[in-house]
């Protein structure tokens, strides 16, 4: 059971290797201008969570992180 997650990317760290785009194209993209990571959706659909976690492992630059998605009633942003 993979719980719902929220994804964050750090473009300052990204080195544009593109592993995330290969692994979970529904969630990650690369900027046409600079080749750095772009997030298509911060809240990946249920079926992609395992691949998003693999993308975290594969990202050479440590630019992707996932945190548990806060339950709807806590709408505060960290």
Partner 1 sequence: MTVAPLTDLPLWPPTNLDRDPLVPLDAGERRRFAGPVTRVRLPTDATAWLVTRHADVKQMLRHPGFSADLTRPGFPLLRRIPPGAFGDRRGGFIRMDGAEHARLRRMLTAEFMIRNVRRIEPLIRQTVDRALDELHAAGPPADLVAHVALPVPSMVICHLLGVPYADHDFFQERSRTLIDRDAPPERVQRHVRELRDYLHRLVEARVATGERTDDLLSRLARDRVDTGELAVDELVGMAVLLLIAGHETTANMIGLSTLLLLRHPARYAALRDDPGHADGLVDELLRYLSIVRTGLPRLATEDVEIGGRLIRAGEGAIAVLSLANRDRAIFDRPDEFDPYRAAQQHVAFGFGVHQCIGQPLARAELRIALVELARRFPRLRSATTEGRLPTRDSSVVYGLDALLVTW
Binding residue for ligand SF4 (CB under 6 A) from 7, 9, 27, 52? 9
**Angle at 54 (CA atoms; ends 48, 59), nearest 5 degrees:** 120
Nearest 5°: phi and psi at 68?
-60, 140
**CA separation for the pair 17, 30 (Å, rounded):** 10
Binding residue for ligand SF4 (CB under 6 A) from 2, 40, 41, 60? 60
Stretch that binds ligand SF4, among 39-47, 57-65, 70-78 (CB under 6 A): 57-65
Binding residue for partner 1 (CB under 8 A) from 1, 57, 72, 74? 57
């Amino acid at each position: 059971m993979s719980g719902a997650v929220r994804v964050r990317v750090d473009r300052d760290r990204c080195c544009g290797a593109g592993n995330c785009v290969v692994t979970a194209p529904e969630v990650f993209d690369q900027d046409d201008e600079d080749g750095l990571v772009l997030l298509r959706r911060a809240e990946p659909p249920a079926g992609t969570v395992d691949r998003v976690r693999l993308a975290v492992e594969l990202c050479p630059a440590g630019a992707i992180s996932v945190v548990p998605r806060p339950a709807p009633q806590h709408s505060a942003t960290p």
